[in-house]
Amino acid sequence: MTLQCGAGLRCVSLLALGLTMVACSRRSGAGAGTVSVTEHRVGPFIIDSTVGALLKASPNAERTTVPGEFKEYPALRLSLPGAEILVQQFGETLNTSRPGDSWHVSGANILLPDNLTIRSTWGDFRRAYGRGAGSIGENIDEASYVFCKLPHFIFKVPTAGADSTADLRNPASIPDSTHLVEFSILRTVWRLAADTCDSIKAP
């Protein structure tokens, strides 16, 4: 189910976990103004920073909300040249003494690990990130995947073109030419990653 998030961002509920993910555009390759996104930081912002620290670092930050599966969650909107960031918490109000629980990044200048972008093909992601696993939510037209190399990232892709007999929990079931719908960064590891990847412990 697609939900309006405001400011041109599109939020989608994920697997009844209350997680949301934001569609992103991309810029091909690094360059001036590129905002690098990793499991630990988005541009100059560190994922583990408290909301209070983010407010101090970005005086123009705005308090907002993000719709989840059953309710709205508090969030902080940060802006960088070519990128907009929503830092979401799973609580009733925004707690400035805690970090965000999930980060959603949108914009033309986003650069993902291994120099991939939102318009890289699914084949590019699989070759760069290796082993992974997926899950299907209420919408069978899309599947969400996590890679052992990046257990904090969740990638959503359309299932169109997949073999009707394929196990959609396997990332290889999605055609290599497919493109991402959206991605999200979780501060803690998605449980599916811990169940799939031997080297990863559940939070």
Residue 59 tokens read as: 């005086």
Give domain 1-190's CATH number out of 3.40.30.160, 2.170.190.11, 2.60.40.10, 2.60.460.10. Answer: 2.60.460.10
Which pLDDT belongs to residue 201?
Answer: 55
Which pLDDT belongs to residue 26?
Answer: 36
Contacts of 159 (CB under 8 A, 6+ apart): 136, 140, 141, 142, 143, 168, 174
Which pLDDT belongs to residue 28?
Answer: 40
| Domain spans in the chain, listed from the N-terminal domain onward | 1-190
Of 72, 99, 103, 94, give the one whose Cα is nearest residue 3. Answer: 72
Q: d(Cα 12, Cα 2) in Å, to the nearest integer?
A: 5
Contacts of 56 (CB under 8 A, 6+ apart): none
Residue 111: half-sphere exposure toward Cβ, Cα within 13 Å: 12
Q: What are the per-10-residue average pLDDT scores of the chain (203 residues)? A: 39 38 40 82 95 94 88 94 91 95 86 91 96 83 91 91 86 93 84 70 52
Cα 152 vs. chain centroid, distance in angstroms?
8
Which pLDDT belongs to residue 111?
Answer: 93
pTM score, two decimals? 0.75
Q: d(Cα 110, Cα 116) in Å, to the nearest integer?
A: 9
